[in-house]
Each structure stands twice: as structure tokens, then as C-alpha cells.
Structure 1
């Protein structure tokens, strides 16, 4: 059976000489391959209206991690804890999220990706979790990237529970998080401090956002593999229909 193409949205970076680069961790590519798909990396476009053409052959999407989401996109001014932002990249990734949702293509959004997905649907973010008034776990861990450090509890009947179970441990490398869920965004897993760790989009067969980095955890075991096999299987189903 033909393997489906999974479009991975490229990040943006400047190299040591100040040259603009399409940037992406190889871990995302390896995770899609391990899940049975063929990765297709999409670089940032100058003209975002060309995204449907750029992604035409893709049967699924993956939104990766990266820098902070610009708070102007959810109606806020920058707080003291806000990190680097790139508004054009934000719009590129949000447009990909809208395209996936509008066409029924499966979507897996990771770390920054879950935040982009939420903002794309009208939600808001905590700009900097250490500034949150409530007690908060260490969400930007100091351990190796493959080490799982805190627990997650999933909602009964959710897609994430079917894929990974009721409770499990995840790694954590973020200082922003979902504050108010957007339209049709369902929080289906949370950390012990109440921070959303997974969301799903109501009415879509496979639109899943996770706040941790499952692609890094795959380097030491297959506990997170169902996220990627699930994405690929949903993409295969989309491609057939």
C-alpha cells in the first residue's frame, strides 16, 4: 500500500552569518518515517496564498515546536516573559492548520504547534508560565530531551486516551501554554497543575495537539509511536477517500 505524504511545516532560523534558513529538527522526519509515512518538509513561503499548492500532495500535516506565538494574534500586548516571535511564520503555520481542518486532512500539532492550533481557532495563551499566579510545575525541564518528567491524565473517550492510555509521563520544553481554548478546541489531557497537555478539535477525525515532544521520546522507546502511526493511518484513509 502506498505510503502517505505528511507535510511537516518548516521553522525559520538565522545562521551564524545572518542567512535565513528553513530549520527543522530531524527528529520530526524520523518520527513520521517510523510511523509509516513519507515526510515532506514545507519551507516558509513569502506568499502564503500559495500554501494550498505547496501542500497539494500532502495527505496529513505536522506542526512542529519552535519559538513563541505573537500575542497580538490573540489580542494581547507582550509580557516581560515573552520570547522571540516571528509573525509571518505564525501566519504560515496557522494557515496550514486552517487548511488541514477545512479539508479534513489529519493534523498532529506538537509543542508550539498546539499553541498555534489554539490561537488559529480563537484561543489565548499563557505568554510565560513562570508568571502564572497559580502554582506551576517545571514545564521547561532541565533533563535530557528524551526523559519523561511529569504526568498527564487523559479524558475518558478521547482520541488521546485510545492512542496512549489513561495516564503516562511526558517530557516538557515550553514556557507558553493554552490559557483559554479556542472554538471547538477540547482539552483532553492535562498535567497535575491543570495546564492543558492535549487538545482535539470537535468534529474532525484526527486533529490532535500535544504540548510535549513525542518525537524526542521515540529515541529511547516506542511509547509515543501511536501518535505517529495514528497520524499516518488517518492520512492513508484520507488519501483513499
Structure 2
């Protein structure tokens, strides 16, 4: 039976030179490719009303949440700092509803970068709005303009974690963020950190929700070991069939 993975879309909220005011929902191709190479059928879920989340989740075997804007601080009880930059509360609210619907249906969730952060907020945790100002980060966590597929700093995993199982104790990753997990949400544990103690991986106590702060979808072609993240997630999704 085909494993179907829903990918929550991002959407343009500003006019652009190419699209003008013809706003679009979209997902970067790399996420789709990673899921396809894991033997799954990716389905892009357009940004919608939170009340429709359970219907969307009913049609898939797992949920992937991608990168993008910062998560709106008011959703975890804080006033936004100047460093937050762009947020999109409509996307936040829809993805939070999807996460809760997936959890209710016992379907696995994979969060990548922002995706990991919004999982944490959905489950009652909070974020550092800026890891440099609030968490004392010292490494370069936004490597732009360095090419996306090039690893730029190391992470270390915990011994009993899913990341340790598939990628080992220590490895180098890329990085494109300035927010990060502060206090983990309910039933979430930190399973990887950078050398300056920024959270780089999470896992729920039951192992059904996983997340990474880096971008394996951008590295998997040049560094094929990162395809294992998508393969592992596909295996979690087969348990629903």
C-alpha cells in the first residue's frame, strides 16, 4: 500500500516581481524529492482553515512540516522582539492544528527547522526569539550566502535517540535559522545540540514526533546519509498501515 505523506505548504504573503499579487501556496522541491526517494507519495496540503486539519490528516499517513518564517511569539505568550522579522500567524495556526490532529490520530510528524519549532509551540513549549540575543549562541546558525548543501557546524546526539541511531554521535550540518527551542513542549525531549548548546533535534517520548533544526533535504544529494532521515520517517508512517 502506498504511504502518503502530507507536506504543509508555505504561502507568499507579499507581492513579488514574478507573481505580483497572484499569491501562491508552495513547497520547495527538495522536501518532495526526499520523501519520494523514501518510497512515499508526497501530497502538498495547501494552507487552510484550522478546522479542516483533521480532514487533511485523515487522508495521509504522516505529516512533514518545512522551514520558513519565524513562529509568532504571541502564540507562546511572549511579545515579539525586533529580531523576530517576518511571521505568518495564519500558517502557524494551521500547522499547529495539523500537528494536534496528527497526534490525535497517532500519525507521525517530522519537523524541519521552523517545522521543529512549531511542533514545540504546538505541544506547549516556547522558543528563543533570537538565539544570539537570548541564548548566547556563538556559532554561525545562518550560513547564507554559503551554498545550501554545505555543512557549516557540528551537532552531537544523545545515545538513545533516533538521530544517534541513523547518523551517529556527531556529524556536521547546514544551518538557516535564528530562532530555536527554549523549553521543550509536553512529552518532547532534546536529542541533539550544536556545540554552543542550540537545540538541533527533538523526539517525543513515544517516538512518533521527530524534528531537526538543520535542513537534510538540502544536503541529501551531496551527503546521501541525510536521506536516512526521510527513510526513518517513512518507516514510522508504515506503522499506521
Q: How high is the TM-score relative to the length of structure 1?
A: 0.94
1:185 corresponds to:
188
Matched, 1:145 2:144: no
**Aligned counterpart in structure 2 of residue 216 of structure 1, from 215, 218, 225:** 218
2:37 corresponds to:
34
Describe how 1:1-241 pairs up with structure 2 within 5 A. Answer: 2-14=1-13, 15-16=15-16, 17-45=20-48, 47-132=49-134, 134-142=136-144, 143-203=146-206, 205-239=207-241
Shift of 1:55: 2.8
Decide whether the 8 Å contact of 1:31 with 1:228 is kept in 2: yes
Q: Which consecutive segments of 4 or more residues in structure 1 shift more than 4 A?
A: none
Quickly say closer, same or farther: Cα 1:10–1:133, change in 2 above 3 A: closer
Deviates more, 1:59-68 or 1:120-129: 120-129
The CA RMSD measured in Å over matched residues stands at 1.2
Decide whether the 8 Å contact of 1:61 with 1:107 is kept in 2: yes
Quickly say closer, same or farther: Cα 1:175–1:133, change in 2 above 3 A: closer
> For the residues of structure 2 that align with 1:133 and 1:113, how far apart are their CA atoms?
20
Shift of 1:98: 1.2
State how many pairs are aligned.
236
Shift of 1:50: 1.4
Q: Deviations over 1:71-108 (max 9, x none)?
A: 00111101010111111110111111112222211111
Task: Return 5+ residue gaps in structure 2 as ranges.
Answer: none
Q: How high is the TM-score relative to the length of structure 2?
A: 0.94
